Amino acid sequence: MRAWQTVELGAPSDVLRLNPEVEAPTPLPGTVHLQVSAAGIGLPDALMCQGSYPLTPAAFPFTQGQEVVGRILGHGEGVEERRSGDRVMAVTHFFTGQGGFAEQCLVLDDFCLPVPDAMNDAEAAGFLIPFHTAYIALVARAKLEPGETLLVLGAAGGTGQAALQIGKALGAKVIAT
């Protein structure tokens, strides 16, 4: 299978290479094997190329890409109620080098969710991590209430955009920078 792999540390444009002969992953316990339809890309991916992200795989080459959407091909031990062919969005097993910048990848069963029919692949591939992060920050931590003012710094990024939408849905007055 094909995969974009990081072959050494450096700027993404210098160290990412398309490898046409990567072995397809074998499901590990607690993982789901996906045929990738679309992969999200974010700042952690650039930081992994530079080796400055805490969960950067240790060995080269590795396939990064933290979030994906795709169809289930199979699963490892300890995974129940997953059907081949189901369309899901998920967080990948990127920290072992089995990320989503490939035709197939492994994803974490605990962060593998069905995709609503109204959501296209591109939307689903960039949804889970930013919206999960923003929801935890605004609801669980900040306990944002209707009528409060929310200032979102970095509103142009994925998590910033998610915070804008969640803040508005919760009834806050949202200010973005």
User: How do residues 30-67 score in pLDDT, each as one tens digit?
Assistant: 999 999 999 999 889 999 999 999 999 999 999 999 99
Rounded (5°) CA angle 174-121-29: 105
Q: What is the mean pLDDT of residues 159-170?
A: 97
Decide: residue 1, CB within 10 A, 0-12 exposed, 13-18 middle, 19+ buried.
middle
Q: Can you read off the two tokens belonging to residue 69?
A: 């959407």
Residues in the chain: 177
160 vs 141: CA distance, rounded Å = 16
Q: What is the mean pLDDT of residues 160-176?
A: 97
Residue 3, pLDDT > 90, answer yes
Q: 63-91, pLDDT tens digit by residue?
A: 999 999 999 999 999 998 899 999 999 99
Q: What is the CA radius of gyration of the chain?
A: 17
Element (H, E) at 113: strand 104-114
User: Can you give the pTM of this predicted structure?
Assistant: 0.90
- Beta strands (DSSP E) in 48-141 are 67-75, 87-92, 104-114
% of the chain beyond a pLDDT of 90: 94
